[in-house]
Amino acid sequence: MKQTTSASGTGRGKAAGSATRAKQSGRTTRTRTGRTTSGKSSSGTQARRRTSAAKKKEDKEPLRIIALGGLHEIGKNLTVLEYGGQLLLIDCGMAFPEDEMLGIDIVIPDLSYLEENASRIAGLLITHAHEDHIGAVPFLLKKISVPVYGTAITLGLIENKLREHGITGDLRRISAGDRLKIGKFDIDVIRTTHSVADAVCFYIKTPGATLFHTGDFKVDYTPIDGEPIDLRKFAEIGSSGVDVMLCDSTNAVRPGFTKSERHVGEMLDRIFGEAKGRIIIATFSSNVHRVRTIIELAKKYGRKFSVSGRSMENVVTIAQELGYIKIGRGQFVPIEKTGSIEDEKLVIITTGSQGEPMSALARMAADEHRNVKLKKGDTVILSSTPVPGNERSVSNVVNKLYDKGVKVIYNEIMDIHVSGHACQEELKLIHSLIKPKFFMPVHGESRHLVEHGRLAESIGMPEKNIFILRNGDCLSVTKDSASVIKGAAEAGDVMVDGFAEGDVGSVVLHDRKLLSETGLIMAVCAMDTDTLEILSGPDIVTRGFVYAKESEQLITDLRKAAVISVRSRVSAGVTDISEIKEGMRNDLRRFMLKKAQRAPVIIPVIMEV
């Protein structure tokens, strides 16, 4: 029997909700003597008429869909559903920063629309535990108290994130097969398959329209956990009627089918059988199925395993506690004790498959890891493909590994990674099963969304029923129509530096870029505020421009130019210190352009005495 869970956007319990519904409907309650306790029947009739009129109005109300992230980009997934005055959120993820976002750790969606409508949010549904779907949850919960619904491993990883941020949340566990009532939204939770355990998708019903959200998925008939995608349920939902579908578009440009995760296991089995020394394997920490496969292969070939990298350590711990991974007695070795294990008896599972500069694998490649020093005879496996934008970072790490003389196996050498996203034939299958009236491709860059729209058109969907939106746009859907409202919500990027959110904007990024390209010169002096005489300095400090000890003449010339700049303005009758500083900045900038054809950032500092 399927479990039914109820939740209210206002946080009231079932009893209170039932009592309220009974009161609103005019329903009478009789005692054992048959006496009516809830008022006269005429008032009940009037209440029923009001309820009926309200229901007719509600049936005509559209379901509004607003993506605050995830469109025309990879990452930052956050979708808002609006109906009956309430909001239901699906996913709340982050994205990796672009190259020009110097010093930025992650990028999250603009949450201002949600802050403005906080009292109307009924809940947050999470499809799966990847960073581009859960990475911004702590930042949301710092601003808004909202119940979060997810499967066991998803909530386990979210809880760990909240702990790092020093906050707690109302986390509510769900499972495939559950039926939820969250505010005005009726939701079926359906099992799917992806590159992370316990991924689900959602069929969401409102009186105005029904919606099917695939989440990230592929059609894997032989998954590691033995729980294939529930295509029977997909077909059942398609037969009952779906007004609009939101579907993963990541692999919409790739023909054919995505290979099963078991294919990776077969390739890794071959590598384990041939390897003579240590095996160091980097993969996504959230790919619990692959980590499980590695641990099982280590046991098969008589190897102990260790884990390096904080995120990998967290995932393995949580997965073991929840029963997703089983570790035999004595099979695990702490990374600091691996030096005592024979090379042919050791596997190290690590982070860094995307070439992240501070990851465990990157530190090993740079010979900076405290416990692992790479050497000839080691086999290093990158069991992943680069996320778009990370290709250069991955290439740099691979080259450093080759310089170490180790055997490197990565996606260009051997097929040791499969995608977690559906290719074209799988997408066609899902479209054929769900049979939506309207379609909105999501989760992809521009080429992915456009090609997914063309794919839907190729199997019979009218072009006018396919909607490619941008972040912040709204798709308003009824049972008979759909239309787009442009710019319905703010949907920009918010950059996070450490835990500081929104402190770094375009101006700061411009300054960082300028500093990285041109360097910095500071001219520091002390002035008598009465006589405007220079009492000491100017001292010249440079950073990222020239090495002062090797450019003594230039430093001397800069000091003279600064003195001339100050004295010329004082002689001209300028008494405002800020005006003198601005003059020094302009004069030194012109001096450097003439002297070296370079324009570093100039910061004049005048200490008033």
Q: Is the pLDDT of residue 265 over 80?
A: yes
Q: Considering 449, 474, 501, which residue would you say is the last residue of a domain?
A: 501
Strand partners, 423: none
Q: Is the pLDDT of residue 104 over 70?
A: no
Contacts (Cβ under 8 Å, ≥6 apart) of 572: none
Contacts (Cβ under 8 Å, ≥6 apart) of 5: 172, 174, 178, 179, 180, 181
Same domain flag for 370 and 282? yes
Same domain flag for 166 and 221? yes
Work out how many domains the chain is built from and give that number: 4
- Sole residue written with tokens 């600064």: 562
Query: What pLDDT digit, counting tens, does each position of 152-199 carry?
Result: 999 999 999 999 889 999 999 999 999 999 999 999 999 999 999 999
In a domain, 327, yes or no: yes
Same domain flag for 398 and 431? no
Q: What is the mean pLDDT of residues 219-242?
A: 94
Q: What is the mean pLDDT of residues 327-348?
A: 94
What whole-number distance in Å separates Cα of residue 181 and Cα of residue 172? 13
The catalytic residue positions are 248, 421
More confident residue, 206 or 551: 206
Looking at every residue in the chain, the average pLDDT score rounds to 85
Nearest C-alpha neighbor of 505 from the set 134, 175, 107, 149: 107
Show the domain range for 455: 61-256+419-501
Q: Worst-scoring range by mean pLDDT, 31-45, 193-207, 237-251, 573-587?
A: 31-45
Q: Is the pLDDT of residue 218 over 60?
A: yes
Q: What is the mean pLDDT of residues 457-484?
A: 97
Q: Worst-scoring range by mean pLDDT, 122-136, 436-450, 548-562?
A: 548-562
Strands across the sheet containing 601-608: 534-543, 520-527, 601-608
For residue 160, what are the CA distances in angstroms to 52, 138, 166?
A: 46, 10, 10
Strands (E), 206-258: 210-213, 244-248
Q: Is the pLDDT of residue 67 over 50?
A: yes
pLDDT at 493: 83
Q: Is the pLDDT of residue 200 over 80?
A: yes
pLDDT bracket for residue 395 (50, 70, 90): confident
Q: What is the mean pLDDT of residues 539-544?
A: 80
pLDDT at 117: 96
Q: Is the pLDDT of residue 211 over 60?
A: yes
pLDDT at 138: 94
Same domain flag for 65 and 121? yes
Q: Considering 466, 501, 536, which residue would you say is the last residue of a domain?
A: 501
Q: Is the pLDDT of residue 35 over 50?
A: no
Q: Is the pLDDT of residue 389 over 90?
A: no
Q: Is the pLDDT of residue 203 over 70?
A: yes
Q: What is the mean pLDDT of residues 519-544?
A: 82
For residue 505, what are the CA distances in angstroms to 97, 107, 500?
A: 13, 11, 12
pLDDT at 16: 36
Same domain flag for 197 and 249? yes
pTM of full prediction above 0.85: no
Q: Is 239 helix (H, G, I), strand (E, B) or coil?
A: helix
Tokens matching residue 253: 């440009």
Cis peptide before 604 (omega within 30 of 0): no
What whole-number distance in Å separates Cα of residue 115 and Cα of residue 404? 51
Question: For the domain that residue 105 is a member of, what is the CATH number?
Answer: 3.60.15.10
Q: Which helix H or strand E contains 555, and what residues bound it? A: helix 552-571
In a domain, 507, yes or no: no
pLDDT at 1: 38
Q: Is the pLDDT of residue 222 over 80?
A: yes
> Looking at this protein, which amino acid is placed at residue 477?
V
Question: For the domain that residue 337 is a member of, what is the CATH number?
Answer: 3.40.50.10710
Same domain flag for 80 and 216? yes
Cβ contact 23:163 at 8 Å: no
What whole-number distance in Å separates Cα of residue 180 and Cα of residue 189? 8
In a domain, 19, yes or no: yes
Same domain flag for 237 and 105? yes
Question: For the domain that residue 545 is a member of, what is the CATH number?
Answer: 3.10.20.580
Strands across the sheet containing 500-504: 106-109, 493-497, 500-504
Same domain flag for 72 and 218? yes
Q: Is the pLDDT of residue 22 over 50?
A: no
Q: What is the mean pLDDT of residues 534-550?
A: 74
Q: What is the mean pLDDT of residues 267-275?
A: 94
pLDDT at 15: 34
Same domain flag for 369 and 462? no
Q: Which one of 349-353, 365-369, 468-472, 501-505 scores highest in mean pLDDT?
A: 468-472
Alpha helices in 366-408 (DSSP H): 391-403
In a domain, 392, yes or no: yes
367: left (phi over 0), alpha (psi -120 to 50) or beta: left
In a domain, 510, yes or no: no
In a domain, 511, yes or no: no
Q: Which one of 12-26, 394-408, 436-450, 583-597 scores highest in mean pLDDT?
A: 436-450
Same domain flag for 79 and 220? yes
Same domain flag for 285 and 403? yes
In a domain, 414, yes or no: no
Q: Considering 409, 432, 456, which residue would you say is the last residue of a domain?
A: 409
Radius of gyration of the chain (CA): 30
pLDDT at 122: 97
State percent of the chain over pLDDT 70.
84
Strands 63-69 and 78-83: antiparallel
Q: Is the pLDDT of residue 405 over 70?
A: yes
pLDDT at 11: 38
Same domain flag for 233 and 267? no
pLDDT at 229: 96
In a domain, 508, yes or no: no
Q: What is the mean pLDDT of residues 560-586?
A: 86
